[in-house]
């Protein structure tokens, strides 16, 4: 197989980029400095850049091979941070109070940026590589916005690929799923309204705390007793707010939560059962109930053909020592799922270290040792898909 390139960037350059992104985290659709810095780095290497995507902060780098016409593929990195206060004390810690790259998107951005520069320096392939720098992955669906704005209509691609660092796997290890990678993600907000009263005389009111407590335990039966064991699902109440006094039963309570699973029919059934449970609860306790249910991300499902291409690329990537096939999928979610609904492709995990803090943890930091490995993976994948002997 003809070699496309080797990584022309040393670890110090990649680390400097990553630390700059980490130190200046920006959240969903507000990644203005991040977007500008990415564009500056790309343009400094004479790479064609499309800016202003996805409500303003998304970018697309276009790299055309010098070996003639060929297919187009997309490589995607997320660029946003989280509303998390960093607990680390390293020199590149966040300077934006309450904002933090607690999921490693600073590393993902750097790896794709490094790959783009390397490909532009030696574009020995046929076809086109689109490097997609996507905002607002965390909760706000920047991937969906990119798709709805016409990403794949304006820039047709035969396949699109993504990756995420993965704590618990050593650097050099990777994981690839043939199909399901990450779960669908829905959220709900339930408000129960009754009649407040003195806590010493509960019979004079309608107790929303009792009803809400029953609801929290009741809905767990939808997963443990109504869902097949081979179809994983999680239904979690994550917020419970009511009252502020020792001797008063409040007149309302608000619950928030999330539903996650992989199967579409199961997702619809669980939502239906949740709605039925709310109606029955309100009727039994004499309450008024308002349920706001919002589907967010679909499940992230790989195309088996493209998952296999990623496996072969990983096995040929310098620095990769082990590829895990089909580990248990994660119940976390990813808006790369919207891209995979429109375009075939695959999403993989790269190890961030066995001792890495968990994702979304205030002590988390992307492992700089992974940076050159990620760059080499992207280069190897392009070589395998678009190289002269692809």
CATH number for the domain spanning 205: value is: 3.30.70.360
pLDDT reported for residue 88: 85
Same domain flag for 40 and 137: yes
CATH number for the domain spanning 118: value is: 3.40.630.10
Question: What is the domain range of residue 83?
Answer: 11-181+300-386
Same domain flag for 239 and 194: yes
Task: Report the distance separating Cα 89 and Cα 202, nearest Å.
Answer: 51
Same domain flag for 30 and 164: yes
SS3 content of the chain, % helix, strand, coil (to 5): 35, 25, 40
Among candidate residues 349, 300, 345, 347, the one with its CA nearest the CA of residue 322: 349
Same domain flag for 260 and 285: yes
Contact 1, 383 (CB under 8 A): yes
Considering its fold, how many domains does the chain have in total? Answer: 2
pLDDT reported for residue 1: 32
Q: Which of 244, 274, 297 is the last residue of a domain?
A: 297
Residue 196 domain-assigned (yes or no): yes
Number of Cβ within 10 Å of residue 24's Cβ equals: 19
Task: Report the distance separating Cα 16 and Cα 378, nearest Å.
Answer: 20
Residue 6 domain-assigned (yes or no): no
* Residue recorded with tokens 């097949």: 228
Contact 134, 78 (CB under 8 A): yes
Ordered per-residue pLDDT tens for the chain, 390 residues: 333 345 667 899 999 999 999 999 999 999 999 999 999 999 999 999 999 999 999 999 999 999 999 999 999 999 999 999 999 889 999 999 999 999 999 999 999 999 999 999 999 999 999 999 999 999 999 999 999 999 999 999 999 999 999 999 999 999 999 999 999 999 999 999 999 999 999 999 999 999 999 999 999 999 999 999 999 999 999 999 999 999 999 999 999 999 999 999 999 999 999 999 999 999 999 999 999 999 999 999 999 999 999 999 999 999 999 999 999 999 999 999 999 999 999 999 999 999 999 999 999 999 999 999 999 999 999 999 999 655
Q: Which of 297, 320, 345 is the last residue of a domain?
A: 297
Same domain flag for 197 and 220: yes
Same domain flag for 22 and 144: yes
pLDDT reported for residue 39: 98
Please give the span between the terminal C-alpha atoms of the chain, in angstroms, as a whole number. 7
Same domain flag for 214 and 306: no
Task: Report the distance separating Cα 212 and Cα 202, nearest Å.
Answer: 15
Among candidate residues 237, 228, 219, the one with its CA nearest the CA of residue 265: 228
Residue 21 domain-assigned (yes or no): yes
Residue 113 domain-assigned (yes or no): yes
Same domain flag for 141 and 226: no
Same domain flag for 42 and 81: yes
Backbone angles phi, psi at 120, to 5 degrees: -65, -30
Among candidate residues 91, 85, 87, 65, the one with its CA nearest the CA of residue 25: 85
Same domain flag for 157 and 220: no
pLDDT reported for residue 130: 98
Same domain flag for 95 and 191: no
Integer CA distances (angstroms), 94 to 33, 40, 116, 164, 358, in order: 14, 21, 26, 21, 18
pLDDT reported for residue 388: 66
Same domain flag for 53 and 173: yes
CA angle 28, 31, 33 (to 5 degrees): 165
Residue 287 domain-assigned (yes or no): yes
Q: Which residues contact 336 (CB under 8 A, 6 or more apart)?
A: 76, 78, 137, 143, 162, 300, 347
pLDDT reported for residue 382: 98
Among candidate residues 120, 133, 154, 114, the one with its CA nearest the CA of residue 51: 133
Residue 1 domain-assigned (yes or no): no
């Amino acid at each position: 197989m003809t070699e496309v390139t080797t990584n022309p960037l040393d670890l110090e350059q990649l680390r400097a980029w990553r630390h700059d992104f980490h130190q200046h985290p920006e959240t969903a659709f507000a990644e203005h400095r991040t977007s500008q810095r990415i564009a500056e780095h790309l343009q400094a290497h004479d790479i064609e850049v499309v800016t202003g995507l996805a409500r303003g902060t998304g970018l697309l780098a276009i790299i055309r091979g010098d070996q003639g016409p060929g297919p187009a593929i997309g490589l995607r990195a997320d660029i946003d941070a989280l509303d998390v206060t960093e607990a680390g004390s390293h020199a590149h810690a966040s300077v934006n109070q309450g904002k933090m790259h607690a999921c490693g998107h600073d590393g993902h951005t750097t790896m794709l940026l490094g790959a783009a520069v390397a490909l532009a320096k030696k574009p020995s392939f046929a076809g086109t590589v689109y490097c997609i720098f996507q905002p607002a992955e965390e909760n706000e669906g920047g991937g969906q916005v990119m798709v709805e704005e016409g990403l794949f209509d304006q820039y047709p691609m035969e396949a699109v690929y993504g990756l995420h660092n993965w704590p618990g796997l050593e650097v050099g290890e990777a994981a690839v799923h043939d199909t399901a990678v990450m779960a669908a993600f829905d959220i709900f907000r339930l408000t129960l309204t009754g009649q407040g009263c003195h806590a010493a005389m509960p019979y004079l009111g309608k107790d929303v705390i009792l009803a809400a407590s029953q609801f929290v335990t009741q809905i767990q039966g939808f997963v443990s007793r109504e869902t097949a064991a081979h179809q994983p699902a999680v239904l979690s109440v994550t917020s419970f707010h009511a009252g502020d006094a020792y001797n008063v039963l409040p007149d309302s309570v608000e619950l928030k939560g999330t539903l996650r699973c992989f199967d579409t029919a199961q997702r619809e059934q669980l939502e239906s059962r949740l709605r039925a449970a709310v109606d029955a609860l309100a009727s039994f306790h004499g309450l008024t109930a308002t349920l706001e249910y919002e589907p967010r991300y679909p499940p992230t499902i790989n195309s088996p053909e493209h998952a296999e291409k990623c496996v072969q690329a990983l096995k040929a990537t310098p620095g990769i020592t082990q590829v895990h096939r089909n580990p248990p999928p994660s119940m976390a979610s990813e808006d790369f799922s919207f891209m995979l609904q429109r375009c075939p492709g695959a999403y993989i995990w790269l190890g961030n270290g066995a001792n890495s803090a968990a994702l979304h943890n205030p002590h988390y930091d992307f492992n700089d040792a992974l940076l050159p490995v990620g760059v080499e993976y992207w280069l190897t994948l392009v070589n395998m898909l678009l190289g002269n002997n692809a």
